[in-house]
Structure 1
Amino acid sequence: MPAKRPLNATVISSAKRERKAITLDIKLEVLRRFEVGEKLSQIAKALGLAVSTVATIRDNKEKIKASSQIATPLRASRLTRHRSAVMETMERLLHVWLEDQSQRNMPLSVTIIQEKAKSLFDDLQREQGESSQKEKFSASKGWFVRFKERHCLPHFKIDSIAPGNKDTYPEVLKSIIEEGEYTPQQVFNVDETGLYWKRMPERTFISVEEKAEPGFKSSRDRLMLLLGGNAAGDFKLKPLLVYHSENPTALKGYSKPNLPVIWRSNKKAWVTRSIFHEWFTSFFCPAVEKYCAQNNLTNRALLILDSAPCHPANLSDLSDNVRVEYLHDSTADSVQPMGQGVTSTFKAHYLRRTFEHILEATDGEDTAVIREFWRNYNIMDAMDNIAVAWEALRPATMNSVWEKIWPQCVQSQSVSQTDNIARLRRNIVTLARTVAFEEIVEADVDQLLQSHEEALSNEGLMQLDQEPAGQEGSEDAAPALRQLTTRQLAAAFSHFEAGLQVLTSCSHDDEWKLKVSRAINDAVTCYRELYSEKKRCSKQPS
């Protein structure tokens, strides 16, 4: 007769073990720890995993690394069903579009996101051909919930003012200015704006010929500018330019601190929190201090910003002399000074200067010469023209845009922004026709100027996805570090690990630990590759 099983053993065996989803991020962290020599038991203890789970991850190293190359974000849990290439691409491009909308501080809702996802999916299917037409996608609420979890998206909501309600921010700002005793020379506003630096009106022969060419279109190469100045209009800040390449070929031999702009780079050419933080502390505050000293003003200033995600919330804590105030989300677009004519006027000046540049270089007679000039027109040329266009904005223009938010500071003789842009538009048409672009009319110029502010279209997103890293012959390769020895590299890695241990030991949040660990390890990837290469070479026979 078989022995009876103890009651407690029966209870334990019948209880279901709680299943834990292992994200791709955790799997990659396990593999990284193996590569630096950590033992299986140490990894399991550090990440709170079973030893058998860690061993399984190790054994599936190649599959996991292959999975990390697809579009699914690193924090996404393992998928339980196959997802088509069209679906993966759609979600990747949708995430880029959402980031772009966030950068531009545009309101979003579930419905808007669902509609964009459906249109992206349909366009990608048409591009793939009939083989993918069988797959159906309705952008349902269930899909949105799963998409949101995969990409760690926040909740979206639309802020709006009820009809008939008057925004009270001008009164709030007036009280802040009176309390701080700020003069128009000490009150500033800055805003980000995109610029397609190599885009021509659609009906020009340059645009028509470019559309017919396959591959990446240079007219879709966008950079981001941060433009601003004070309410008096007598001080314009040096533009901050963010490009997708840190070292394009056109900049070879130039000293970046001596460029007419503050040059920074980001993979998607966006102003990030870290870039804005550095700009505020290293450029804005010193520039204000110097300006105040030159004009016999007290070294203090008020900076007005919208609440875009790239604007840190603690800027006032970083300076004893600069106070930062944020516009209400619901009215920022309608009252922010730089958005009331400065950025649009600047872009008109940039287009006019571009045609002037073509005329100076080609005399505007031979279309073949114009084509050759435009083919060689690079980011350095654009940068010079940006500086000229920014310099062309008059103090009256910079002052008049404060009418809605601080009317008391605006001088009565300030010009109308509408009249100013209309005059520039006519000037551009005259120049363009002088440069062999006879077909251009004012509507073409207006359409081009407005296109800089448009959200990324489906076609633009797909072209952005095809864009090779580092257009303009980027020289972003890692610097020559061959003189480092394996011993020095190993010592550096041990210091990194010790520092990580200190940071993570004081935090009980696993997500924070992984985020910090991944950020630091991504930053030293080039050194790890160099270390592996040196180790491999040292084992080879001479």
Structure 2
Amino acid sequence: HKEVEDTLHMWFKSARNNIRLSGPIFAAKAEKLAADLGNENFTIERFKKRWNVVSKSVCGGSGTVDSTVADDSITSKLPALLKDYEPKNIYNTDGTGLFYKLLPNKTVAIKGENCHGRKHSKERITIMVAANLDSSDKLKLLVIGKSQKSRCFKNVKSLPVDYKANTQAWVTSDIFSEWVKKFDRKMECQKRKVLLFIDNCPAHPTIATLMATTVIVLPPNSTSKLQPVDQGVIKSFKQNYRCLLLKHIIACFELREDAEINLLQGIGFAHHSWRKVTMRCISSCFASAGFCIRETNEETENFLYLVESWKIIQVNMALSSDLTAEDYIDMDKNVVNSAQLMEAEIIAAIKAQDSISGDMESESDEDYEPEEPKLSSVAEATHFLEVLNQFINAESEVSDTIYNNIAELSDYILLCKAD
């Protein structure tokens, strides 16, 4: 009965955040899922014992919260919530969908579309960003894709991000819980007590036994005003990402190469884009959400480059003049990155798990990449670094930081050679 139990458990975790699960409702759903999976002899008591499911009385009521009331409520509570915490100990996190490989000529097809990730799933990943109020700590990105062992990951032993995978490329309750617990352990090791603000969504369950972290759940329908990273941090990240992708596309035009990127390149672009989100931008977005005194946010340099690059792209790809750089930045603004799963999606996910975990080298047709990336040798890496040195030496007014970073790269390559 393991398949039925796993399916019922996934549905249970997804549904309990949105509806009250009474005994009869739970039993009826178990019976239906068992029938769908061809196991009509399934009994619910064994499931309850295995997963420690018990019935409890519900005090009070829940329902749709008026967004205005929610805004007023959290605004009036914020000073009391924040008063015992230093700015460095106040964090916010949220996820966003990203069409990491979609070229500008496909943007018009999805402009303004509320995408649930099926039609364009080949190009979509989910990115989870997190930072603190004084912007001194931008946490490592969490990237969720569809392939656990994509072809482009061959010979890859480390990534600049944390990477997870599931069939929908969504933030699930398990993934989010694991992330929060890891974050809590880090804060505990640093002997800190922190606040973590999150939105109200089915993939964000209540997590017990946190030692250093107090989780504050924002009211429903309020995140567009009250969630700091939604005030411009995510948009800045995506602006940086599109800028890097356009630079890549323009370089491919000049070299007459295919501009399509793979998942590994997308992860690299995402890491680079997150590094380029400035402290000023993060602080300004916390201020916009009412967390501190407002600062001005002057994130204009990359957008100006985007606009200029867009003109080149429009000519080379024969894009419509109605399609703007702003459209390209916002093309995945409405992508769903977590949700309560439907029955068919749960059953499909459970059935797919065996193939994902059982055959780690296999991959779906959607994630097919025609050529496996070649693993560079130490000698080749040294040669490429020399080429990079020559390029930089031909430029004027190069900062010491650039030369120091190249020296660090050279030392790292020498260490690899010694090993």
Same fold (TM over 0.5): yes
Corresponding position: 1:309 with 2:215: no
Match of 2:17 in 1: none
For residues 226-241 of structure 1, the aligned pairs below 5 Å read: 226-241=128-143
Q: Structure 1, unaligned stretches of length 5 or more?
A: 1-19, 33-42, 49-155, 209-215, 457-464, 470-474, 481-542
**1:397 & 1:29 partners in 2: Cα distance?**
50
Q: Which has the higher helix share?
A: 1
Match of 2:180 in 1: 280
For residues 389-404 of structure 1, the aligned pairs below 5 Å read: 389-404=273-288
**2:259 & 2:105 partners in 1: Cα distance?**
18
Match of 2:82 in 1: 177
Corresponding position: 1:431 with 2:309: yes
SS in 2 for 1:276: helix
Match of 2:230 in 1: 339
Deviation at 1:446, TM superposition (A): 1.2
Give the conservation status (yes or no) of the 8 Å contact 2:188–2:211: no
Q: Structure 2 length normalisation: TM-score?
A: 0.61
Moved >6 Å (runs of 4+): 216-219
Give the conservation status (yes or no) of the 8 Å contact 1:429–1:442: no
Deviations 1:326-365 (A, max 9, x none): 11113222120010001111101001011223344x3x33
**1:159 & 1:47 partners in 2: Cα distance?**
34
Give the conservation status (yes or no) of the 8 Å contact 1:349–1:424: yes
Deviations 1:438-486 (A, max 9, x none): 7566952211222212257xxxxxxxx9xx99xxxxx946249xxxxxx
Match of 2:51 in 1: none
Give the conservation status (yes or no) of the 8 Å contact 2:100–2:125: yes
Corresponding position: 1:446 with 2:326: yes
SS in 2 for 1:233: coil
Deviation at 1:260, TM superposition (A): 1.1
Match of 1:380, as an amino acid? L
**1:391 & 1:21 partners in 2: Cα distance?**
46
Q: Which one of the candidate residues 345, 353, 373 is aligned to 2:259?
A: 373
Deviation at 1:261, TM superposition (A): 1.2
Q: Which one of the candidate residues 285, 289, 310 is aligned to 1:405?
A: 289
Deviation at 1:27, TM superposition (A): 4.2
Corresponding position: 1:415 with 2:304: no
SS in 2 for 1:195: strand
Deviation at 1:402, TM superposition (A): 1.0
Match of 1:202 in 2: 105
Give the conservation status (yes or no) of the 8 Å contact 1:232–1:409: no
Match of 1:200, as an amino acid? L
Q: Structure 1 length normalisation: TM-score?
A: 0.48
The answer to which structure, 1 or 2, has the higher relative contact order (CA under 8 A, 6+ apart) is: 2
Give the conservation status (yes or no) of the 8 Å contact 1:201–1:207: no
Deviation at 1:307, TM superposition (A): 1.0
**1:450 & 1:21 partners in 2: Cα distance?**
39
Q: Which one of the candidate residues 50, 59, 66 is aligned to 1:160?
A: 66
Describe the shift of the 1:177–1:31 C-alpha distance in structure 2 as closer, same or farther (beyond 3 A). Answer: closer
Describe the shift of the 1:182–1:318 C-alpha distance in structure 2 as closer, same or farther (beyond 3 A). Answer: same
Deviation at 1:162, TM superposition (A): 5.5
Deviations 1:70-106 (A, max 9, x none): xxxxxxxxxxxxxxxxxxxxxxxxxxxxxxxxxxxxx
Give the conservation status (yes or no) of the 8 Å contact 2:184–2:211: no
Match of 1:252 in 2: 154
**2:192 & 2:310 partners in 1: Cα distance?**
45
**1:358 & 1:323 partners in 2: Cα distance?**
44
Give the conservation status (yes or no) of the 8 Å contact 2:96–2:335: no
Describe the shift of the 1:21–1:399 C-alpha distance in structure 2 as closer, same or farther (beyond 3 A). Answer: closer
